[in-house]
Amino acid sequence: MRTRTAVVAALTAALVLTTAVPAPAAPGGPSRAAELIGRQALPANDGWAAAGTGTTGGSAAAPDRVRVVRTRAELVDALGGDNATNAADTTPRIVYVAGTVDGFEGPDGTPLDCADLADPEYSLAAYLAAYDPATWGRVTPSGPLEAARVRSVANQTRQTQINVGSNTTIIGLRGARLTGLTLMIDRVDNVIVRNIEFADARDCFPAWSPTDGDTGNWNSQYDQISVRRSEHVWIDHNTFTDGDNPDSAQPVYFGRPWQVHDGSLDVTHTASLVTVSWNRFAGRDKVMLIGSSNTVGPDVGRLNVTVRHNLFDGTLQRLPRVRFGQVDVHENHYRLGGPGFAYALGVGVQSALYAENNFFTLTGDTGPADLLYDWGGTALTERGTWVRQGDRLPRPVDLLAAYNAAHDPDLGGDAGWTPTLRASRPLPTPVVPFVVEAWAGAGRLPL
């Protein structure tokens, strides 16, 4: 265990970095501090993304592959020039985001809305009239209106899904924000995303799924960051929110909330070797899905992810939800509870979740037994958990024992592996909320 002096030193170092004053910027370019941070690689042994060749992103970029972008068109151009083919461009590059880049921005800078992306044969009013369960029944929508919705989704995907190639670093300058878009990291290797606020990756055309749950659900398509079929990805010091378009403000159709948001950061479709560190997830419903299907197949042996030193603040579920992978969740701070809260750690099919030294601050009637959910898994390793419940003093809690006392069947206590890819020994759990609060999220790097 670290000494008190070492803990204070670590916290002080984090605060110094947080408040550091960057060097003066060169005209039209990033500051010297930003140039140095833009070329940083993931440190050795820092989670699963450090395995094998490690994660260096665009650190080898030539000077002409270092760009500052302020618009969607500039972002697409900096990533290779053609959004349809950018994922295949492996040239090392560093992309600095300045200000707000909006996915709903046309090539000429004109703001777009959902109506601009809708197929001519689609309208929400007609869709609701056609597929009302009172007349359509509990049958998956089909026919011309559903086909028009699917074409509308394709239009939006071309507009708001920004494809990222291998050997890329995307890093925000101070105040950088990506709104209304998805960073798609698919079939690539070696990507770093840091110091950006992601807001409101909204779906204009949610799908009605009448057999999802007891009464059906609306489901959206777009994550804020989606990692698929990729390796060596480091997601660090970002903030994820719904911006000024929260789920609570959405209407209700067919008796269910109109769900326009999907995940904050999903790792699916055989992706692996991902480190998620020092991020802030605030006020979101679905946060982090690791593994998208219960089907035993290509995901087996994949989906290995490290989730460390993140703040989950007022989030409702998937913190993360895990299938198949060996997932190391350590030294995170969770502020949870209240209306809509579902669970924190989802133990899914063949998952091997290792949770260590996490701190939970709970409100309302949420208790330790509510923090796990069995999605078809059998076991997890859980140790060093502390809980502060309401006005009570923080205390160590055996989270697994609390869950098993309230639920059947019991979950086992051995995930079958022990993490080795950690850059340092874990902090004592009582210190975790102070360090994470000071250091997690966009705006903490000295850019």
For the cut 50, the answer to whether the pLDDT of residue 218 exceeds it is yes
Supply the mean pLDDT for the chain.
Answer: 94
d(CA 75, CA 83): 9
* Mean pLDDT within 184-211: 98
**How much is the pLDDT for 341?**
97
At residue 418, the 3 state secondary structure works out as coil
pLDDT tens-digit readout, 327-368: 999 999 999 999 999 999 999 999 999 999 999 999 999 999
* Mean pLDDT within 127-137: 96
**How much is the pLDDT for 49?**
98
pLDDT tens-digit readout, 157-185: 999 999 999 999 999 999 999 999 999 99
**How much is the pLDDT for 272?**
98
**How much is the pLDDT for 372?**
98
CA dihedral sign of residues 70, 240, 207, 163: positive
447 against 61, higher pLDDT: 61
pLDDT band at 8 (very low <50, low <70, confident <90, very high): very low
Element (H, E) at 334: strand 333-336
Token output for 405: 């006392």
For the cut 80, the answer to whether the pLDDT of residue 23 exceeds it is no
Closest CA to 206 of 128, 113, 286: 128
Name all contacts of 120-125 with Cβ < 8 Å and 24+ positions apart: 120/148, 121/145, 121/147, 121/148, 121/151, 122/148, 122/149, 122/151, 122/152, 122/205
**How much is the pLDDT for 45?**
98
Token output for 6: 């070492």
Please report, in angstroms and rounded to a whole number, the separation of the first and last CA atoms in the chain: 33
**How much is the pLDDT for 29?**
75
pLDDT tens-digit readout, 296-338: 999 999 999 999 999 999 999 999 999 999 999 999 999 999 9
pLDDT tens-digit readout, 247-276: 999 999 999 999 999 999 999 999 999 999
**How much is the pLDDT for 27?**
52
**How much is the pLDDT for 28?**
59
In sequence order, what DSSP letters do the residues of 75-127 get, joined into one string? HHHHTTS-TTTGGG----EEEEE-SEEESSB-TTS-B--HHHHS-TT--HHHH
d(CA 320, CA 11): 26
d(CA 179, CA 294): 31
- Please tell me what DSSP assigns to residue 12: H
2 against 234, higher pLDDT: 234
Element (H, E) at 361: strand 359-362
pLDDT tens-digit readout, 403-421: 999 999 999 999 999 999 9
For the cut 50, the answer to whether the pLDDT of residue 6 exceeds it is no
**How much is the pLDDT for 447?**
87
Token output for 187: 């079939």
d(CA 233, CA 22): 26
Token output for 194: 């840091």
HEC letters along 216-275? CEEECCCCCEEEECCEEEEEECCEEECCCCCHHHCCEECCEECCCCCCCEEEECCCEEEE
Q: Contact, 368 vs 401, CB < 8 A?
A: no
d(CA 223, CA 392): 36
Q: What angle do CA 226, 350, 327 make, to 5 degrees?
A: 50
d(CA 372, CA 366): 12
d(CA 323, CA 165): 26
What number of other Cβ atoms are within 10 A of residue 263's Cβ?
26
For the cut 60, the answer to whether the pLDDT of residue 19 exceeds it is no
- Please tell me what DSSP assigns to residue 379: B
d(CA 306, CA 365): 30
**343 contact partners, CB below 8 Å, separation of at least 6:** 317, 319, 370, 371, 372, 373
For the cut 90, the answer to whether the pLDDT of residue 145 exceeds it is yes
Residues with catalytic annotation? 318
